[in-house]
Amino acid sequence: MLHVTPDSPFSIMALLFCGVLVCVFEVVNGFHDTANAVATVIYTRSLRAGQAVLLSSLMNFLGVLAGGLSVAYAMVELLPADVLSPPDGMPAVVMLLSLFGSALTWNLLTWWAGIPNSSSHCMIGAIVGVAVGDSLVHTRSLSEGVDWHQVFKVLEALAVSPLLGMVGAWLFYLALRAMVKDAALYQPPKGEAPPRGWVRWLLVASCSGVSFSHGNNDGQKSIGLIMLTVVGLLPALYALNPQEAHRLPLPVAEAAQIETLLTRYDHDGLRPEALAAAARLKAEALVAAAQGGAQNEPVVGTRPLMALRADVFEILAGLKQVDYNASTPAVDRASAKTLRKHVQPVVEFAPWWVRLLSALCLSFGTMIGYQRVVRTLGEKIGRTHLTPAQGASAELVGAGLILTAGYTGLPVSTTHIITAGIAGSMMGAGSGVQGSMVARIMLAWVATLPVTILMAAGLFYVLSP
């Protein structure tokens, strides 16, 4: 793909194909993760399968629209700045194909096997793989080419959240059993009759909560990925945030502060691209000031929008390194954080129709293909049939964890939290778990990151010049 020009027909077709891939990935994410919400209401006969899936679809849709963007760009910022927005204006086709090709392949394979695997792990592994592949292409060390601080921050949330789900559901079940003595909560359904009264609606509410929180967290991930494709297809409209582009050129004092801060710590592994980007932004600020200080144009002279976007991402990456460096004095870390927050809105945004597209893809995926994983969650984790109390414990605790993560910018796995929660509630009830199925699930969880990292790194390396 070395000789493909940014505006060539092949480049446009490749980006359109990537747009289709990201939508397909979100549809697959929908039906892969739907089972986490609907398994309990289906297996306790609280709702028929069709009713449960429609409810879950609606709540996923609303969750995406109500979510923020912190999770979206926590994922996106795992990518190196030069991959995220190539400085020569080239659409990031290689990056997108590597991301979606590897993540989608593994997601479909685990779904086909009926294993409740994490779409979040698939995408994060693919993103890290692209960063590794980019390091190999440019012969950089992995410590320079991969933002390990951000990677470990994300992986920490992914690792801790299932444990919290398991322990939380276990304790919730024990508390429920101690306080609520209604036998209907602790018995599997008989025949096709739903649980009576409040038990049924408790499960419907917990299903709704998991679906909403899933849309809120996972929908943000697809928003970030859709934006990568949108910027490549329509750089003139979306390379910079139309509502925030007036921040550029930067005020001279702010541009000088950024350059001084990055120069001061250039010996701590900062990429030279960040220093060069800061110098260019400062030069443009000086030109704008000399011309009267007008800041109503996002570009000085004839600078391409994509090149300006690339420079913004480079300085954001540099400021992040300064902020995350433990040896940086507190005053400089605070300055770096403040400058990042001021500049981020210029490139980190999503128009309303991207949110809507993400919501539609996720909710549509929710309505199809869920049966395989539902059967695993309902029948194959515990040694006994799922009871209303077990399902409600797993889902209420899970919904709280996922929703909290969605609003604090931590990408967590709905699949891992709910699956672990079901296992925790089974252990709390003393019914035990099926070792062979749990071992299969754990194997898939453990394999997901290395497999997707290797696949994405290999694809990126092969497709890159």
Residue 375 has pLDDT above 60, yes or no: no
| 237 assigned to some structural domain | no
Mean pLDDT, to the nearest integer, of 385-413?
81
Question: Percent of the chain beyond pLDDT 70?
Answer: 81
Regarding whether 453 and 362 lie in a shared domain, the answer is yes
Alpha-carbon span 71 to 82, nearest angstrom? 21
Regarding whether 187 and 49 lie in a shared domain, the answer is yes
Alpha-carbon span 33 to 23, nearest angstrom? 15
Cβ contacts of residue 35 below 8 Å, gap of 6+?
A: 116, 370, 372, 373, 374, 376, 377
Mean pLDDT, to the nearest integer, of 259-283?
80
Sign of CA dihedral 448, 453, 454, 459: positive
Q: Which of 292, 316, 346 finishes a domain?
A: 346
Range of weakest confidence among 13-17, 182-186, 404-408, 429-433: 429-433
In the prediction, which pLDDT does 370 show?
59
pLDDT (tens digit, 9 = 90+) per residue, 327-339? 888 898 899 999 9
In the prediction, which pLDDT does 428 show?
79
Residue 454 has pLDDT above 90, yes or no: yes
| 238 assigned to some structural domain | no
Alpha-carbon span 461 to 345, nearest angstrom? 31
Burial 316-348, CB ≥16 within 10 A → b, else e: bbbbbbbbbbeebeeebbebbeebbeebbebbb
Regarding whether 393 and 288 lie in a shared domain, the answer is no
Regarding whether 293 and 211 lie in a shared domain, the answer is no
| 366 assigned to some structural domain | yes
Regarding whether 281 and 223 lie in a shared domain, the answer is no
pLDDT (tens digit, 9 = 90+) per residue, 219-230? 887 888 888 778
| 1 assigned to some structural domain | no
For residue 190, what are its two tokens?
């008989």
Residues, the chain, total?
465
In the prediction, which pLDDT does 301 show?
46
Mean pLDDT, to the nearest integer, of 375-402?
73
| 274 assigned to some structural domain | yes
**Highest mean pLDDT out of 83-87, 179-183, 410-414:** 179-183
What domain range is 18 assigned to?
Answer: 9-231+352-463
Residue 365 has pLDDT above 60, yes or no: yes
Residue 292 to residues 251, 266, 282, 288, 297, Cα–Cα distance (Å): 12, 32, 16, 7, 12
Regarding whether 409 and 334 lie in a shared domain, the answer is no
Q: Which single residue is written with the structure tokens 């001084």?
A: 260
- CB of 231 closer than 8 Å to CB of 238: yes
pLDDT (tens digit, 9 = 90+) per residue, 5-36? 555 676 677 777 877 888 888 887 776 666 66
β-strand partners of 382: 433
Angle at the Cα of 51 from the Cα atoms of 49 and 57, rounded to 5 degrees: 100
Regarding whether 307 and 407 lie in a shared domain, the answer is no
Residue of 235 and 420 predicted with greater confidence:
420
| Residue 350, phi-psi category: left (phi > 0), alpha (psi -120 to 50), beta (remainder) | beta
| 236 assigned to some structural domain | no
Regarding whether 359 and 336 lie in a shared domain, the answer is no
For residue 73, what are its two tokens?
């760009």
Secondary structure of residue 403 in the 3-state scheme: helix
Alpha-carbon span 163 to 168, nearest angstrom? 8
pLDDT (tens digit, 9 = 90+) per residue, 102-153? 888 887 887 777 666 677 778 888 888 988 888 888 777 777 667 777 777 7
Cβ contacts of residue 283 below 8 Å, gap of 6+?
A: none
Q: Which of 312, 346, 380 finishes a domain?
A: 346
pLDDT band at residue 385 under the 50/70/90 scheme:
low
Mean pLDDT, to the nearest integer, of 146-166?
79
- CB of 63 closer than 8 Å to CB of 216: yes
Regarding whether 309 and 418 lie in a shared domain, the answer is no
Regarding whether 342 and 369 lie in a shared domain, the answer is no
| 365 assigned to some structural domain | yes
pLDDT (tens digit, 9 = 90+) per residue, 240-260? 888 887 788 888 899 999 999
Residue 372 has pLDDT above 60, yes or no: no
Alpha-carbon span 292 to 285, nearest angstrom? 11
Number of domains in the chain: 2
Which parts of 44-184 fold into alpha helices (H)? 49-66, 70-76, 81-84, 93-112, 119-137, 142-145, 148-179
| 20 assigned to some structural domain | yes
Mean pLDDT, to the nearest integer, of 357-372?
76
Mean pLDDT, to the nearest integer, of 214-223?
82
- CB of 309 closer than 8 Å to CB of 250: no
- CB of 433 closer than 8 Å to CB of 427: yes
Q: Which of 346, 372, 394 finishes a domain?
A: 346
Regarding whether 54 and 160 lie in a shared domain, the answer is yes
Q: Which helix (H) or strand (E) holds 219?
A: helix 197-233
pLDDT (tens digit, 9 = 90+) per residue, 173-196? 899 888 888 877 787 767 667 777
Regarding whether 370 and 290 lie in a shared domain, the answer is no
Mean pLDDT, to the nearest integer, of 264-293?
78
